[in-house]
A and B are shown apart, each in its own frame.
Chain A
Amino acid sequence: MHTYILKRLILTVPVLLGVTVLTFVIMRVMPGDAAIAIMTSGGQGGASQSDLARVRAELGVDKPLHIQYLNWMWSLVRLDLGNSWHSGRPIVEEIKLRFPVTFELAVLTVMVSVLIAIPVGVISALRQDSVVDYVFRAVSIFGLTMPSFWTGTLILFCLVVWFNWFPPMGFTGFFENPLVNLQQIMWPALAVGYYLSAYLARMTRSTMLEVLRQEYIRTAWSKGLRARAVVIRHALKNTLLPVVTLAGIQIAVALEGSVVAESIFMLPGMGLALVSAIQLRDYPVIQTFMLVLTLIVMVVNLLVDITYGWLDPRIRYK
């Protein structure tokens, strides 16, 4: 197991290198001059071509592409993540500020997704083709079709219109005030979690149906075991294998796709900052954030794979 983990960690290096090349190339190929973005912040400000040339030289974007890439790589080797071209703030400060928010949202989102999906999927499978099954499946499909930004906006307006209540202003960290934090982050987690739970619930249902048809389950029933024992002790664990895979992917989705939830619910996360950086062609921020997010996704995938070994003792890593 340790060898396996070490191998996987070593494999992250070429993957990250590939991501650096991809991100670098895409940003340079994408239309939009970073110098214009800086000089026109807001679309006005008046700039001449000579001003732009000076700014390009200051930013280093007038150098050949391979030199720019190597300069960036060298700074990464020295663990110098650089500063934002627009705010001038160190990027490491931005990550320290924003990553915990995005991570908390992603974790809560997946928790909500799992809390909704697994019971719904299991009950649906146990009550296959009943009214309960149809209702749950309809709710799942509804979640699949309704985009999370719409659900989020709907939640917000229901709170305001029906309860005259709005989440507290000014994001508060979990360790500052857990209650206020939960009041702020619960709703985006619910909106995105509901959307993601749809996939998970359907996967749980179909896998559970497959598992319930296995001979050992029939044996368990015929032995007279209680439903709780059959479903939870025997069937659920085997159902969870593909579900865990999907949940792991969902963490990645939640991490990368948090921008809408962050925008609607005013969360200072990485998603929103990344979108803003892309709009402003803030290359250092984009490149660094992509690296960080890639690294996290790889670690999550590794944890998911390790979880398999715990769920299914037949799986052993060499």
Chain B
Amino acid sequence: MHWPKALRHNSVLAALLLAGVACAPAAPAAVTPSAAPTSAPAPAPALTSANATATSVPSVSTPRPALPATPTRVATPVPAVQPGEKPVYGGVMSIVQRGEPPSLNAVKDSSITTHHVIFPIYEYLLRRDPTAPWDKIIPDLAESWEVSPNGLQYTFRLRKDVKWQDGKPFTAEDAAFFLRLKADPPVTRIALTAYYRSITKVDVVDPYTVRVTLARPDSVFLLHLSESRQGIPPAHLMKDADGKYTDKVLDTQAVGTGPFKLKEWKHGVSVALERNPQYRIKELPYLDGITYYIIPDRATQFAAFRSGRVDITSVGGGTYLTPAELQIVQSQLAGKVSIYYIKTALQYTVRFNPSKKPFDDLRVRQAAHLATDRQTALKLLADGVGAIGGAFYPSPWAMPQQEVLTMPGFRQPKDQDAAKAKQLMADAGYTNGTDVVMAVRQEDQNAAVWFQNELRKIGIRATLRVLAQVPYWESGSKREFPAYFGLLSMPTGHPDDVAEYYVSSGQIFSQLSDAKLDAMFDDVAQTVDVAEARKKSIALDRYISVEQVYGVVLVHPDGYRAAWNRVRNLHLDGAGQLDSQRYEDTWKTGE
């Protein structure tokens, strides 16, 4: 019996044809420096920190300091801009985007997937310096500001040379509109209104001056204004035909004053930005555009980067380079790719519900705290990349690292703490241990399994109830379980970022009712003197993490991003996950 030849030949031919077509080499992504923008700006001046001012092109020629050498950080020194190296105009930079933005709405949506792509489009009243530590606030749309001695009035003087993408001028009316919108939302779905809760009045003093009056001093007000999701939208586009408020236009349009504007949003595929010719700094940006490619799969993200199809890896929890990827970058792409250490401000936390056994007993909570081996958590849950700390991400607002590492529960070796933990459990009447159910988000279950084992050492037999994100938060709002395990973030490093998990003012995430804790959070927020506020914040951190143990923070995991060296003058390792990503002074060479 013979093979039917036609069948054999046809299938081989078909396979060859398909393989040939599919493997046709695609044109390599070429970077062609385009002509300078049609407004023909002068070549970028050689800038140093000496001649850079708030209104001029930011410094690009000052060599960036090498990153501090610590055992856990492998970030490469960011390639300094070489002497004589001039920025190049042109090219489109591509970045991995981990998921489809639910919308482009800067006022309604607080998700990082949205703000990652719209960050270069908007400007803020104030901004965090992308090249400096956490909370160095610099001018943005407000070129200067004054605070009244009693801390209740802030006067912002706005830049006069700012235009919206449609050519209309940015004025104090826009700033006032934004502040009023956040302070007194006309609709329910306005994000992050808690940041503006202390505002009682917003006045337009003149076309370029706006004054804000607070009900009480707020030491974090300026920091909140500079947080990376406070982009100011255009007031003139946010009224319908009847003059009523609407932000519908922002669902699919992002209209700002930043260096880039929205070119095209291909749903499920990419978000493309292009140079904004109305940007106030005429020489900027250098890039023709930025394209964020939506790549949901983790492995595909790295494959796209490794092959050179995208210039920069993604941002956001769960998307930073794994140890294996880091190893590939270091061994196979050395000299071509730079690695950036990202202070993510994330934390693996278990929050206790003191209204449910066994965590209604402080001794049990303290036992859990003492039993947890943070150093092992750092190694296993964060691949050695991150920090050990209390309830607040290590920053000037948290307990100092040197102090933390010597404290019971955080220190090594663990023998003493482990013995004390068992003693506390016995004192609490749990000599034979106890069973408990702990809710955990699907994405965080690996870390939860590790913590489950830590609890087992002191006799707490925890069963994990793995929940998808929405049921997890819903369960938390109903305070169903004794403990909630998850990954939290602190975008500004200030305690206000996590207040909603601890205060008892009806916030859906909080499990607690502690008037003293509420008062401490308020006190920190209302203390105008920053040094004093930080002292109180440290005390607050100690109260939450050590005295009352309302939660156990296992580790603050940081991460690494990578970028091809053809992208120049990146500041990815600046404060926060997003603040460094406006890219106004970034350029791309053809290498």
A: residues with CB less than 8 A from B are 31-34, 36-52, 54-55, 58, 86-89, 94, 97-98, 101, 115, 119, 122-123, 126-127, 153, 156-157, 160, 163-171, 179-180, 182-183, 186-187, 227-228, 231-232, 263-269, 272-273, 276, 279-281
Contact = CB atoms under 8 A, between A and B. Distances in A.
Interchain residue pairs A-B with the least CB separation, the first 8: A268-B268, A42-B111, A166-B307, A32-B470, A186-B22, A31-B471, A119-B11, A46-B500
Contact of A44 (B291, B470, B489): B489
A186 B1 contact: no
Interface stretch (B48-56, B293-301, B453-461, B581-589): B293-301
B304 A43 contact: no
Given A170-B269, A227-B2, A45 B297 contact: no
B474 interface: yes
B548 interface: no
B508 A52 contact: yes
B517 interface: no
B270 interface: yes
A88 B251 contact: yes
21 contacts: A31-B467, A36-B477, A42-B111, A42-B112, A46-B192, A48-B505, A87-B103, A97-B268, A119-B11, A153-B299, A157-B299, A160-B303, A165-B23, A170-B270, A182-B21, A186-B21, A268-B294, A272-B296, A276-B100, A279-B469, A279-B470
Interface of B: 1-8, 11, 14-15, 18, 21-26, 94, 99-100, 102-103, 109-114, 188-189, 191-194, 248, 251-252, 266-270, 291, 293-297, 299-300, 303-304, 306-310, 467-471, 473-475, 477, 486, 488-489, 500, 505-509
Contacts of B468: 32, 279
Contact of B507 (A41, A46, A55, A281): A46
Contacts of A36: 470, 473-474, 477, 508
A47 B471 CA distance: 15
A45 B477 contact: no
Q: Which secondary structure characterizes the binding site on chain B?
A: mixed
Contact of A45 (B103, B191, B293): B191
B303 A38 contact: no
A187 B291 CA distance: 23
Given A38-B189, A48-B507, A169 B293 contact: yes
Given A52-B477, A232-B6, 11 more contacts: A40-B473, A42-B110, A44-B489, A88-B248, A115-B11, A163-B23, A164-B307, A166-B307, A169-B310, A171-B268, A272-B296
A88 B187 CA distance: 15
A97 B11 CA distance: 33
B240 to A, nearest CB: 14
Contacts of A123: 3, 7-8
A187 B505 CA distance: 53
A49 B96 CA distance: 36
Given A45-B192, A160-B306, A168 B26 contact: yes
Contacts of B295: 266
A109 B506 CA distance: 51
B18 A42 contact: no
A228 B4 contact: yes
A32 B26 contact: no
B303 A44 contact: no
A169 B299 CA distance: 15
